[in-house]
Chains A and B, each alone.
Chain A
Amino acid sequence: MRQQRLGYLALPLLMTAAFTTQARADGETIAVFTKNQTNPYFQTVRVGADVAAKALNAKTLHYIPTKPDSIPEQLSQIEDVVVKRPSAIVFIPVDYKAMGPGVEKINDAKIPVVNITDRSASGNFVSFVGADDYSLGLETARYLLKTLGGKGNIVIIEGVKGSLTNVDRVRGFNDALKENPGAKLLASQPGNYQRLQALQVMENLMQSNPQIDGVLAANDAMAVGAIEALEGANRTAQVIGINGTKEAVDAIKSGKLLASGDYNGFTQGCLGTMMAIRNLRDQPVIKEIVLKPTVITKDNYKPFDVPLEQRTCPSFEEAAKLGSK
């Protein structure tokens, strides 16, 4: 009899134990900060974060400035979020230098925070997950130059002046050019990461340069804009972009775009969120993941052609192999 009674106790005890540990480990709220609502790259980050959270039984809340890339607004959103106290924060700073005070506020409030994409110039982070824009620029440019046989007339279409990604990517482009003395840089003009601007810049560049063999664009939107300009003028050139957006993958499939550097927003979002959640659950985290550059080309585009919602996040063990440290 006694054993039976104990037996009856065991089940509820076990279940209570299970529920309490679950209540502690699940249902965390992760606040995800991205720069704007319009750039498809940040959408991939958000989807990645959502997928990771769902898989780990947590939930995400997204904070995006109503004015794209607005520094004061992101600062205000941080202040508002600190009042709300999410369990943890995954953070892309609108500006890697100017958001310092904001990160400090998060640190002071003792909310754990993971930094992704743009490496913040200051602040304490549980982890950093990002891509190496310099290597992406370098590798993608190297691929184009290799395809051209190391020589030809090249133009660079830059992104937004002063943005960290732009500075590093263009530096990568330029270093790749230095490795190929047969390649000549004709011009380097900003397209502001915008399609229309890149198209018009390309149109104008084609007027002053009758022979352009290669175009290094700092992002996919500008690369596609340049391609439209080329097609409109019945000229051809090899074009590369960076980001690995769906549009770029389609263009690579059809042969219009030579290659795109995979900026991997989905992976950054999901790994960053994973680290944040693991940190909350006292599980080991990886302090720094710098994703190795992957150049998407006609030969390897298949895994990148999968729609975002169907992609899976790398596991923790895989993540450890993905980046340095």
Chain B
Amino acid sequence: MPEAAVVSQPNLLQRIPGVAIVLGALIVLFGAIAPGFLSAANLSNVLVQSTILTMLALPMTLIIMTEGLDLSMGAVLTLTSLCVAIVSLATKSMLLGLGAGVLVGAIFGAANGWLVAVLGIPPFVATLGTLGVAQGLSLIVSDGQSVVGIPHSVRDIYSATLLGVPVPIVLALASYAAFHGLLYHTRFGTYIFALGGNREALRYAGLSPSRLLIAVYALGGIMAGVAGLLMTARMNSGHPTAGLGLEFDAIAAVAVGGTSFERGNGWLLGTVLGVIAVGVLRNGLNLISLPSSVQVASVGLLVIAALFLDGLRSRS
């Protein structure tokens, strides 16, 4: 049953939840047993490693709030990262490469939105379809090979710093600020809450839920484009399979962060904490050299534990 849309941030006390407990526990644990974990270099690494996923998880939060899902994000990221590589290689311009990536991402995002909003196809199915198309295009465009030789200006994006802060973190912070402002301080943000909880209200207000949905999914595509630049910069190349599967990590981060699949509530900060929690887990396990198979299982246990804790609290 749809609830009335709540256009306010959740009470902070209600939100010292699964994700914050888990993240706090991990930091304390690894601070104690993992040598070098708390060093500035390492913490900076963890944050930088989390930026690409953050840029996917932020729009994913919005999409999930509209009771949707975007399974194509990883594949679209891969494709946009290839576009950035190919275009910047051909034009020797980082900005043109970024533009190409964002454009391709926006097209796929809008396509997702159109399939969901206009054709009425369930988001899981629609984005599964665009996943296949994006993945196929990545393979076809690159014939399975990496694209190398791209200009240094692209590469430097990942390693450069702005006032001592690594550029990827700056971009992630800017994205977070933008999304936060969008969701909590604009009318568009209230519409997003309404899309999840109370679509009729939108129609009565004379707005078109379809156009709004398309915009939300397009936002996801655009962010995939920006993340594509970061990914290409990180690898100094474009690769046809590099980003596949990241959408599941993004969805898990959103869920771990406390956004529910069903209630139209969303907590952006929770999402970011969720991304960082998984990053901290991986980093800490690498530092203590735990066997890789145990690492794999730990990621699953983390996700389950966070959701379980959340479920406990919301029932009490």
Contact = CB atoms under 8 A, between A and B. Distances in A.
B242 interface: yes
B292 A97 contact: no
Interface in A36-90: 37, 61-67, 69, 71-73, 75-77, 79-81, 83-84
Given A67-B245, A98-B242, A72 B52 contact: yes
Contacts of A80: 42, 45, 283, 286-287
Given A76-B49, A121-B148, A66 B235 contact: no
Interface size class of B (residues with CB under 8 A): 35 or more
B144 interface: yes
28 contacts: A37-B292, A63-B292, A66-B292, A72-B49, A72-B243, A75-B235, A76-B49, A76-B282, A80-B45, A81-B286, A83-B36, A83-B39, A83-B41, A83-B45, A84-B286, A84-B287, A84-B289, A95-B239, A97-B239, A98-B235, A98-B237, A98-B239, A100-B148, A101-B158, A160-B144, A162-B142, A162-B143, A162-B144
Given A76-B49, A80-B45, A101 B236 contact: yes
B239 A66 contact: no
Q: Which of B143, B245, B292, B293 has the most CB of A within 10 A?
A: B292
A160 B146 CA distance: 13
A308 B228 CA distance: 42
Contact of B235 (A77, A79, A101): A101
Contacts of A235: none
Interface residues of A, number: 30
A66 B143 contact: no
A37 B282 CA distance: 16
A161 B293 contact: no
A193 to B, nearest CB: 13
Nearest to A161: B144
B42 A72 contact: no
The main secondary structure of chain B at its interface with chain A is helix
B231 interface: yes
Contacts of A95: 146, 235, 239
Contacts of B234: 72, 75, 101
A64 B295 CA distance: 10
Interface of B: 35-36, 39, 41-42, 45, 49, 52, 139, 142-146, 148, 155, 158-159, 231, 234-237, 239-243, 245, 282-283, 286-287, 289, 291-293, 295-296, 299
Interface string A82-111: 011000000000010111110000000000
Contacts of A65: 292
The 8 closest A-B pairs by CB, nearest first: A161-B144, A162-B144, A64-B292, A80-B286, A97-B146, A98-B235, A66-B296, A83-B42
Contacts of B144: 160-162
Q: Which of A98, A99, A161 has the most CB of B within 10 A?
A: A98
Contact of B237 (A67, A69, A100): A100
Given A83-B45, A98-B237, A61 B242 contact: no
Nearest to A104: B236
Contacts of B159: 101
Interface string A236-265: 000000000000000000000000000000
A95 B49 CA distance: 19
Contact of B35 (A75, A81, A84, A161): A84
A66 B242 contact: no
A30 B200 CA distance: 62
A67 B282 CA distance: 12
B231 A72 contact: yes
Contacts of B240: 162
Given A97-B146, A100-B235, A162-B144, 5 more contacts: A61-B289, A72-B235, A83-B39, A98-B242, A100-B236
